[in-house]
Amino acid sequence: MALRGNLRDFTVTQLLNLINLANRTGTLILDGPSEQAHLAFRDGKLAYARVGKEDGSLALVLHKANKINANQYRAIADRAGQMTDKELGLLLINAGYVTQEDILLNLQKYFTDLVRKLFTWVEGFFRFENEILPPQDRINVRLDLENIIIEGSRQLRELEHLQDEIPSLDMALKFTDRPLSNVNLSVDEWKVVKFVDPKNTMRQIGKTNGLSDIEVRRIVYGLLQAGLVEMTRPAGVVQAPNPKQFPTQDKDEQKTLINKLIGRIRTL
């Protein structure tokens, strides 16, 4: 039977485990919240990965790792044309820009980071295509999945814990009375702190700063634990009255009703 389904029922970690145990060859395609990911495997080992618009090419990976600068990256993209990544790699090694080890380590790191990012995808669909083999024009690695799976499970536990602590990102934050003056915050923590205001939901803060849901939760959890902020309902959001709440929409009648309830409960 085709390996396909919903990420709500099957986590990325479980999928990697299955591919690893069955020594599968092919490509796992994940349709996430806003991007699509392609993970190619050979004999149960990760060979290649790309997510969204990034093509996972050697030039891109080396550029991201600061092994080649922006001009060199552009020049390669313009002139390398039909050259495969293997040919490009040989060219760069022979020209003394990188070593073979540099290339392999950076590709492994890039692919591992991409897979790590996928662990936070809990919504979306997946399918495994046996016929789509790891791309021949790219340099394929052979990454054992065990360590990635262990890390993924750890992240999943962390995510569950954070979701328990902060169930909804649609709540806002406000400062407590504790001063922020003697607190050492990281750059990302400052990004969040800068927007702490009952008018901003945590989801909006994350979106403004380009932070994923788990990153926002992780930062907010730290701030909550330190007693620097507390969660509050977003201010200024006009909630439509729930007609089911009261049998009448007349404010005075509603008040009378509550007073009747108070009277009754006092007599119990």
Partner 1 sequence: MKTVKMVVTGPFSAGKTQFIQSVSEIDVVATERKISSDEERSVKSATTVAMDFGRITVDNDLVLYLFGTPGQKRFDFMWEILSEGMLGFIVMVDSTRPETFREARSILETFRAYAPTPFVVAANKQDVEDAWDMEDIRHALRLDSNTKLLPCVATKRDTVKEVLLQLLYSILTEMDLDK
Residue in 46, 58, 166, 219 binding partner 1, rule: CB under 8 A:
166
Q: Which is nearer to partner 1, 80 or 171 (CB)?
A: 171
Based on the shown chain and the rule CB under 8 A, indicate whether residue 240 belongs to the binding site for partner 1: no
Neighbouring C-beta atoms of residue 143, cutoff 10 Å? 19
Residue in 167, 186, 190, 194 binding partner 1, rule: CB under 8 A:
167
Single out the segment in contact with partner 1 by CB under 8 A; choices: 26-34, 97-105, 191-199, 229-237: 229-237
Residue in 71, 170, 189, 249 binding partner 1, rule: CB under 8 A:
170
Min dist CB 217 to partner 1, Å, is 12
Q: Which is nearer to partner 1, 210 or 247 (CB)?
A: 247
Single out the segment in contact with partner 1 by CB under 8 A; choices: 4-12, 18-26, 79-87, 241-249: 241-249
As a three-state string, the secondary structure of the chain is CCCEEECCCCCHHHHHHHHHHCCCCEEEEEECCCCEEEEEEECCEEEEEEECCCCCCHHHHHHHCCCCCHHHHHHHHHHCCCCCHHHHHHHHHHCCCCCHHHHHHHHHHHHHHHHHHHCCCCCCEEEEECCCCCCCCCCCCCECCHHHHHHHHHHHHHHHHHHHHCCCCCCEEEECCCCCCCCCCCHHHHHHHCCCCCCCEHHHHHHHHCCCHHHHHHHHHHHHHCCCEEEECCCCCCCCCCCCCCCCCCHHHHHHHHHHHHHHHHCC
Min dist CB 262 to partner 1, Å, is 5
Min dist CB 27 to partner 1, Å, is 34
Based on the shown chain and the rule CB under 8 A, indicate whether residue 254 belongs to the binding site for partner 1: yes
Based on the shown chain and the rule CB under 8 A, indicate whether residue 6 belongs to the binding site for partner 1: no
Residue in 55, 59, 245, 249 binding partner 1, rule: CB under 8 A:
245
Based on the shown chain and the rule CB under 8 A, indicate whether residue 235 belongs to the binding site for partner 1: no
* Residue 175 neighbours by CB under 8 Å, 6+ apart: 196, 228, 229
- Angle between helical axes of 213-225 and 202-209 (0-180°, round to 10): 120
Single out the segment in contact with partner 1 by CB under 8 A; choices: 4-12, 75-83, 103-111, 244-252: 244-252
Tokens, residue 107: 């590709």
Q: Which of positions 136-165 make contact with partner 1 (CB under 8 A)?
A: 164-165
Angstrom distance (rounded) from CA 169 to CA 175: 17
Are 71 and 97 in contact by the 8 Å Cβ rule? The answer is no
Q: Which is nearer to partner 1, 6 or 99 (CB)?
A: 6
Q: Which of positions 72-131 make contact with partner 1 (CB under 8 A)?
A: none
x-or-dash pattern for partner 1, window 174-193, by CB under 8 A?
--x-----------------
Are 118 and 13 in contact by the 8 Å Cβ rule? The answer is no
Min dist CB 173 to partner 1, Å, is 12
Residues in touch with partner 1 (CB under 8 A) = 164-168, 170-171, 176, 224, 230-231, 233, 239, 242, 244-248, 251, 254-255, 257-266, 268
